């Protein structure tokens, strides 16, 4: 067992002996600790309901955006509280949200952070669950002491009949707590009791065995790791509504550094129909100041859940986001929902993960920044209920409204045929700009000639909005397709995906006369295609396809300010045109003899 580190502090509080005697004597007082604030090096005045320009400070301490501060001067903390809008190395910007009070401060005054008093623990071992946010000094000795997680703090000292004091940037001494960093679940009556004993930053070790989680799931609400081993199985309390196996709850703050490793998450019985909220891992990030960062899942196997295997749901507003989410060697199989669902997850990276046999998408990302490396997607989208799954806007991987995405070296298998009555698509890119698909393999045991079957489908328009053309700027690098009727389609309809680039693809085992469908006849599509050899024995390379553009008012639109060398195909004249880059510029016609 490893011991946790906590910090011990001690201070002696004095006051004037009397109103006429400045000799210092110990006194009782009430003390609250806050994160380290800053000293003003210039004066300011803020009228009600106004924002400040930058105000000079000596050092930002531990101030951050969103804090509330009060000015300490003349032995008192002064209202109103001020909202911190920005902090630099030597300036701060504040907002006075009071509708009646003016705020002011002078050089040398202290800005004290008043939101979130620090928790003080009475003993070295009591580092969770027993803390208080204010303590008292002894009336005879003036001594106040305790244990805190923070090394530095500002102390606000209230003394009856005397001015308030602020002890700025005080420090504590690291000591070892007998509370272990690693807690063994086998030593507790339940997983709920075990996780309650884990200190912040510690690890819950769950030895190999079957464990039923508490009603509503095993709750993770602070930074910690759950570490299993081969044979560790966590079982949902029931295969019922809103019964996840693990539920991560940020609770109105940023929750960081949660890790799940070497676990199998299952139901007590195999569901025979969808069950809402019966997730393997669930994390909802409401818009109450919550945020989740540095979330890691490694070697987690999620099987037979009634809903999504992994469900990560943020809202995008009020900083409701996931940032830096890593899935490594995670398996999500035979779940009634999706293998993985994520919304507003920035820098979501998946390495060597496997999504197989899920009724809905293997993985769906909404409004994310997501990358899949060497992942496998097989036999997902099995649902036949068209109220749950769409023939166009779903797939083994479904990217919806994502700002940037990558699929590198991934494997897609068995996404068509009789087992997929509604959806027969491997990669669905909807309204997602800057997506790259590179070096992936798409394989079916036999060709399915359905009109809706696609290896990769890219559209700017979507099922969630009125379709319209848009700059998608996706790149489809070389990939391998076997028994895929239409390997790649870039939408040329109402939701045309503009400015995409398609490299040569290796396509075998298809009877389609057009295995790569590009908007070659669509003016202003911006499509560039490099090659794509014509199918059939002795098929010939086809060179480079340049974007077509139709003349308007008897001429091609000018691109003044652009350098020379841009090339278009003038569909009105049937000629190749090159921009000369001059000012004013013009389109030159390539002479063909």
Residue located via tokens 């930074």: 223
Query: Which tokens is 122 given?
Result: 């009475």
**Cis geometry, peptide bond prior to residue 80 (ω within 30 degrees of 0):** yes
Query: Which tokens is 217 given?
Result: 């799931």
DSSP, collapsed to helix, strand or coil, labels residue 36 as coil
Is 520 within 8 Å of 547 (Cβ atoms)?
no
Rounded to the nearest 5°, which phi and psi values hold at 67?
Answer: -70, 160
Alpha-carbon span 477 to 428, nearest angstrom: 16
Write out the CATH class of domain 181-441+452-459: mainly beta
Alpha-carbon span 424 to 415, nearest angstrom: 5
Alpha-carbon span 319 to 325, nearest angstrom: 16
Q: Going by C-beta distance under 8 Å and a sequence separation of 6 or more, which residues neighbour residue 355?
A: 331, 332, 333, 339, 340, 362, 363, 375, 376, 377, 378, 380, 396
Is 285 within 8 Å of 249 (Cβ atoms)?
no
What is the per-residue pLDDT for 4? Answer: 60
User: H or E element: which one contains 195?
Assistant: helix 191-196
Alpha-carbon span 233 to 302, nearest angstrom: 10
Query: Where along the chain do its domains lie?
Result: 3-176, 181-441+452-459, 546-593
What is the per-residue pLDDT for 535? Answer: 46
- Tens digit of each residue's pLDDT (9 = 90 or more) over 110-168: 999 999 899 998 887 665 567 899 999 999 999 999 989 899 999 999 999 999 999 99
Strands (E), 460-546: 470-471, 475-476, 480-482, 488-490, 497-498, 501-502, 506-508, 516-517, 528-530, 544-545
What is the 8-class DSSP label of residue 196? H
Regions of the chain with pLDDT less than 70 = 1-4, 125-129, 176-180, 462-465, 533-541, 593
* Planar angle of CA 277, 279, 282, nearest 5 degrees: 90
Alpha-carbon span 155 to 169, nearest angstrom: 8
Is 450 within 8 Å of 424 (Cβ atoms)?
yes
Query: Which tokens is 372 given?
Result: 């899949």
Alpha-carbon span 499 to 489, nearest angstrom: 14
Q: Write down the pTM of the prediction.
A: 0.71
Q: Is the dihedral angle over the CA atoms 297, 420, 394, 446 positive or is it negative?
A: positive
What is the per-residue pLDDT for 536? Answer: 45
Residue located via tokens 């208080």: 132
Is 67 within 8 Å of 113 (Cβ atoms)?
yes
Query: Which tokens is 242 given?
Result: 């809103």
DSSP, collapsed to helix, strand or coil, labels residue 182 as strand
- Tens digit of each residue's pLDDT (9 = 90 or more) over 267-320: 999 899 999 999 999 999 999 999 999 999 999 999 999 999 999 999 998 889
Q: How many residues does the chain have?
A: 593
Q: Is the dihedral angle over the CA atoms 264, 265, 267, 272 positive or is it negative?
A: negative
Alpha-carbon span 207 to 189, nearest angstrom: 14
Query: Which tokens is 175 given?
Result: 């000591």
């Amino acid at each position: 067992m490893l011991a946790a580190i906590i910090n011990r502090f001690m201070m002696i509080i004095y006051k004037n002996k009397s109103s006429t005697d400045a000799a210092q004597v110990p006194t009782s007082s009430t003390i609250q600790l806050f994160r380290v604030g800053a000293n003003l090096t210039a004066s300011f005045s803020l009228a009600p309901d106004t924002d400040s320009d930058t105000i000079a400070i000596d050092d930002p301490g531990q101030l951050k955006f969103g804090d509330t501060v009060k000015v300490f001067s003349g032995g008192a903390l002064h209202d109103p509280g001020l909202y911190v809008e920005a902090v630099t190395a030597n300036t701060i910007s504040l907002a006075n949200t009071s509708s009646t009070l003016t705020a002011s401060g002078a050089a040398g005054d202290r800005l004290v952070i008043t939101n979130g008093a620090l928790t003080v623990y009475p003993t070295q071992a009591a580092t969770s669950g027993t803390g208080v946010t204010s303590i008292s000094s002894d009336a005879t000795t003036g001594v106040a002491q305790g244990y805190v997680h923070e090394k530095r703090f500002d102390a606000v000292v209230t003394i009856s009949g005397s001015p308030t004091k602020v002890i700025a940037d005080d420090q504590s001494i690291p000591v070892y707590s007998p509370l272990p960093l690693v807690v063994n679940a086998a030593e507790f009556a339940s997983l709920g009791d075990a996780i309650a004993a884990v200190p912040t930053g510690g690890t819950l070790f769950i030895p190999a065995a079957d464990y039923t989680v508490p009603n509503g799931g095993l709750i993770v609400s602070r930074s910690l790791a759950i570490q299993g081993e081969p044979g560790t199985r966590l079982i949902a309390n029931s295969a019922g509504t809103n019964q996840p196996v693990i539920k991560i709850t940020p609770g109105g703050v940023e929750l960081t550094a949660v890790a799940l490793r070497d676990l199998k998450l299952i139901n007590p019985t195999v569901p025979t129909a969808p069950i809402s909220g019966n997730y393997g891992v669930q994390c909802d990030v409401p818009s109450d100041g919550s945020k989740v960062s540095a979330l890691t899942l490694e070697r987690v196997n999620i099987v037979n859940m009634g809903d999504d295997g992994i469900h990560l749901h943020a809202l995008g507003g009020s900083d409701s986001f996931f940032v830096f989410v890593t899935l490594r060697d995670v398996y999500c199989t035979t779940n009634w929902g999706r293998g993985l669902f994520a919304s507003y997850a920035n820098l979501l990276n998946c390495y060597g993960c496997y999504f197989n046999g899920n009724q809905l998408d293997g993985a769906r990302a909404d409004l994310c920044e997501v990358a899949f490396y060497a992942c496998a997607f097989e036999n997902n989208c099995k649902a036949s209920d068209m109220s749950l799954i769409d023939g166009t806007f779903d797939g083994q991987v479904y990217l919806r409204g994502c700002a940037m995405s990558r699929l590198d070296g991934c494997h897609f298998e068995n996404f068509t045929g009789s087992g997929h009555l509604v959806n027969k698509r491997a990669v669905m890119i909807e309204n997602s700009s800057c997506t790259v698909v590179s070096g992936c393999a798409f394989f079916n045991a036999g060709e399915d000639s359905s009109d809706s079957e696609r290896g990769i489908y890219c559209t700017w328009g979507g099922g969630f909005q009125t379709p319209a053309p848009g700059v998608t700027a996706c790149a489809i690098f070389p990939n391998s397709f076997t028994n895929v009727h239409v390997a790649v389609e870039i939408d040329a309809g109402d939701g045309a995906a503009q400015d995409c680039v398609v490299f040569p693809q290796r396509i075998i085992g298809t009877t389609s006369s057009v295995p790569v469908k590009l908007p070659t006849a669509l003016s202003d599509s911006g499509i560039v295609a490099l090659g794509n050899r014509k199918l059939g024995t002795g098929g010939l390379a086809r060179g480079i396809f340049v974007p077509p553009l139709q003349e308007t008012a008897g001429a091609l639109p000018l691109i003044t300010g652009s350098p020379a060398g841009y090339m278009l195909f003038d569909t009105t004249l049937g000629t190749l045109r090159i921009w000369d880059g001059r000012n004013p510029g013009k389109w030159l016609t390539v002479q063909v003899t």
